[in-house]
Each structure stands twice: as C-alpha cells, then as structure tokens.
C-alpha cells in the first residue's frame, strides 16, 4: 500500500511539472533550456557539487561566467581542481529565490569538468574570494534543467 501511495504521489508531482501552469503561488513548472540560459546569463554565483574524494561529496559556492553553453569557474589548487583534472561529472546549481513571496527559479547544469590550460578561453570568471585562483575549470553541460516556482 505504501509503495502505491508513493508512486501516486510521484506521478502527481511530475505531472504538475509538465503541466502548463500559471504563476500562482505554489505552482511548480519545468523551465525550457532557453529560460535556463536566460537565468544563467544574469547571475555570477552558483554552487558546484563534486566528489572531493571517494565517497565524500562536497558543495561549494563558486563564481562563474558562461562561454557559449559552457560554465567557466576560477579555482585555486585543491579538490575542485582535482575533480576537473580527473574529468569527473559535476553539477552546478544557480538560483534566484524570493523567500518573502515563496517564488524562485533554479537551474542545474550537469556535465563533465575539465581543467583548462592558460589561453584556452577568452572568458575570465572573477572570484569574490581572495587568494591565488589561477586555474579555470570548464563544465561542459550534457544536461541542463530548471524549475520555476510560481
């Protein structure tokens, strides 16, 4: 009985995502790829999710710029750069949230990270954090999804 209820709840939630809902409070819908990139172009801060070492996920705030559809992230030496050197799959989430009105948009970019050589790109993300951040990580998306909460 519990499994049937869980499946029914999941179907109801995913059905609402695909429905052409208005912007009423609480209405949740999927964003198009164009809407996702429109949001990504207006922001410079996201959260990078990666595996720091076997069995240890990590999520950190990062500054980014877009280079076409790719995200560029400046980094110093450490586990983020090591994940890029291993060409790990990573995710970057970028949000616009209004807690007062319970509305927002959220985009998740999933793809393979890679460390770029100096001069590989013209884009140059500017980190907010101080310290030596001489390396650039490219996240080449293979999946971009977004949700909008009414």
The pLDDT, as a whole number, for residue 4 is 55
Closest CA to 111 of 83, 127, 90: 90
Q: What is the pLDDT of residue 1?
A: 63
Asked if 137 contacts 81 with a C-beta cutoff of 8 angstroms, the reply is yes
80 — phi, psi (to 5°)?
-60, -45
| Residue 123 domain flag | yes
- What DSSP string runs through 108-148? EEEEEEEEEPTTS-S-----SS-S---EEEEEEEEEEEEEE
Backbone φ and ψ for 137, nearest 5 degrees, come out as -105, 130
Asked if the structure places residue 38 within a domain, the reply is yes
Domain with 92, as residue range(s), is 31-149
Give how far the C-alpha of residue 44 lies from the chain's centroid of Cα atoms, to the nearest Å: 11
As a whole number of angstroms, the distance between CA 62 and CA 75 comes to 9
DSSP 105: E
Other C-beta atoms within 10 Å of 44: how many?
A: 16
Classify residue 8: in a domain, yes or no. Answer: no
Assess if residue 7 is contained within a domain: no
Q: Is the dihedral of CA 86, 123, 70, 103 positive or negative?
A: positive
pLDDT of residue 22: 53
Is there a domain that residue 132 lies in?
A: yes
From first to last of its 150 residues, what are the pLDDT tens digits of the chain? 655 555 555 555 555 555 454 556 678 899 999 999 999 999 999 999 999 888 889 999 999 999 999 999 998 889 999 999 999 999 999 999 999 998 999 999 999 999 997 666 666 777 777 777 888 999 999 999 999 998
Instruction: Kindly state whether residue 65 falls inside one of the protein's structural domains.
Output: yes
Q: Is residue 26 within 8 Å of residue 13, measured between CB atoms? A: no
Listed in sequence order, the residues at least 6 apart from 2 whose beta carbon sits closer than 8 Å to its beta carbon are none
- 13 within domain boundaries: no
């Amino acid at each position: 009985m519990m499994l049937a209820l869980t499946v029914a709840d999941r179907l109801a939630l995913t059905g609402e995502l695909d429905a052409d809902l208005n912007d009423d409070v609480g209405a949740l819908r999927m964003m198009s790829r164009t809407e996702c990139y429109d949001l990504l172009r207006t922001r410079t801060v996201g959260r990078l999710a990666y595996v720091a070492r076997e069995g240890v996920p990590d999520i950190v705030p990062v500054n980014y710029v877009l280079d076409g559809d790719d995200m560029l992230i400046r980094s110093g030496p450490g586990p983020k750069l090591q994940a890029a050197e291993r060409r790990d799959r990573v995710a970057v989430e970028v949000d616009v949230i209004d807690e007062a009105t319970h509305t927002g948009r959220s985009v998740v970019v999933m793809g393979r990270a890679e460390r770029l050589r100096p001069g590989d790109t013209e884009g140059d993300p500017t980190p907010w954090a101080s310290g030596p951040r001489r390396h650039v990580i490219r996240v080449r998306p293979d999946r971009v999804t977004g949700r909008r909460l009414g």
